[in-house]
Amino acid sequence: MASLDSHVLKKLVCLSFSTLFIMITMVNSESQCQNFEYIISFGDSIADTGNLLCLSDRNNLSLNGFPPYGETFFHHPTGRSSDGRLIIDFIAEFLGLPYVTPYFGSKNGNFQKGVNFAVGSATALEASFLEERGYHCPHNISLGVQVKVFKESLPNLCGLPSDCKNMIGNALILMGEIGGNDHNGPFFQRRPIDEVKELVPLVISTISSAITELISMGGRTFLVPGEFPIGCSVAYLTLYQTSNMEEYDPFGCLKWLNKFGEYHDEQLEAELKRLRKLNHHVNIIYADYYNALLGLNQEPTKYGEPYNFNFSTCCGSFGVDSCNDPSKYVAWDGIHMTEAAYKFMADGILKGPYTSPPFNWTCLSSKIKNKNSLDTQSSLMNS
């Protein structure tokens, strides 16, 4: 009889552990389900919805404050470095949230559903650090400055500390793209690639530190973009144009510059993996901007012939014309992309396959999901 009781006891213990495991799995599954109520954004011009324009001197506005910027969707310049919407705008639409308000020019604006600290030309590293090495930074709004301003603005954004922690915890925190300008500076000065590579671990460490600080403030979900395939960028193709065809891949992109982008992203992914191990309760999602854009860049005819880019006379300058139909092109102003390209990238980030781990939208209401889902095929791919 005693042996039977022991057998039954063992079965009950096993059953209890199984039930506990199922409950833990359910809790973990539920915690990974994303239904965001807020967007917090940091970065540079890829995510800037108007901060640089607001920070510019009225007598010396940034070029994205002039036509043809904004012509496609908003029908006027908004400070976005494109003809229309950016990736962050498509993310907001998908989530059923309003476009994210730029902080620096709208301190009395509506920040109930989101706030954007991304500034065009911003760097990950401090401007003083880069200036000491001879890399000119036109603005001093680094990632560290953006996070500092965010912390200082919390009483105005959300009030009580408990309310702020709740806001940050229920937000999708977009960390960039940031770091591209740290590399653009020396590359545009034609510095040796080994010199630029030395900056990569410093850039990634800075991004990692910012994420860690935001985690300590209650952040639970981060979308962290990687580098672009800059070897396909019109600006770089113009600057490093060469008659040596062996330097180009079959699609006309400069191989060595794209390898640099791959190197950066490998280092970033490794660091994000380390952060995940240290913060099991946090969802850190890598956004593969490189491959999301690469497929579009591998159609050279999208650029037009020739590259139609000039460093001294940029888009937005007096007398510079834009293409008649930006929806058929990837490149907008030689450095930034068109709304059509950003839409295609946003689709691949929100619905796959360009995020790791992928988003879990199972708890996002079907009404919002169906209303705001992006088209699988954009006019860019059908042109």
How far is residue 84's CA from residue 302's CA, in Å, rounded to a whole number? 18
pLDDT confidence band for 326 (50 / 70 / 90): confident
* 375 belongs to the catalytic site: no
Set 139, 183, 264, 336: catalytic member: 336
pTM of the model: 0.85
DSSP annotation of 280: T
**349, 355 Cβ separation under 8 angstroms:** yes
* 45 belongs to the catalytic site: yes
Decide if pLDDT at 316 tops 90.
no
Set 45, 56, 82, 121: catalytic member: 45
Amino acid 108: pLDDT: 67
User: How many beta carbons lie within 10 A of that of residue 186, not counting itself?
Assistant: 19
Query: What number is the average pLDDT over the span 43-50?
Result: 97
Decide if pLDDT at 189 tops 70.
yes
The residue among 107 and 40 whose pLDDT is bigger is: 40
Q: Which of 181-190, 226-235, 300-309, 329-338 has the lowest mean pLDDT?
A: 300-309
Amino acid 296: pLDDT: 83
The residue among 361 and 259 whose pLDDT is bigger is: 259
pLDDT digits (tens, 9 = 90+) for 287-301: 999 999 998 876 544
The residue among 341 and 107 whose pLDDT is bigger is: 341
Decide if pLDDT at 27 tops 70.
no
Decide if pLDDT at 36 tops 60.
yes
pLDDT digits (tens, 9 = 90+) for 199-209: 999 999 999 99
Q: What six digits make up the tokens of 374?
A: 């992006």
Amino acid 109: pLDDT: 72
How far is residue 211's CA from residue 150's CA, in Å, rounded to a whole number? 13
Q: Provide the mean pLDDT of the chain.
A: 85
Query: What number is the average pLDDT over the span 175-185?
Result: 96
Q: Which of 58-62, 108-112, 334-338 has the highest mean pLDDT?
A: 334-338
Amino acid 307: pLDDT: 52
Percent residues over pLDDT 70 in the chain: 79
Amino acid 64: pLDDT: 92
Decide if pLDDT at 382 tops 60.
no
* 336 belongs to the catalytic site: yes
Amino acid 208: pLDDT: 98
Q: Which residue stretches of the chain are H helix?
A: 2-32, 51-55, 87-95, 127-132, 143-158, 161-169, 180-188, 193-197, 200-216, 234-239, 255-278, 289-297, 339-350, 366-372, 379-382
pLDDT digits (tens, 9 = 90+) for 126-165: 999 999 999 987 777 999 999 999 999 999 999 999 999 9
Decide if pLDDT at 378 tops 90.
no
Which residue has tokens 């860019």? 380
Set 44, 83, 182, 333: catalytic member: 333
Residue 286 sits at the vertex; the CA angle it makes with 30 and 302, to the nearest 5 degrees, is 125
Decide if pLDDT at 332 tops 80.
yes
User: Which residues 6+ apart lie within 8 Å of 58 measured at CB?
Assistant: none
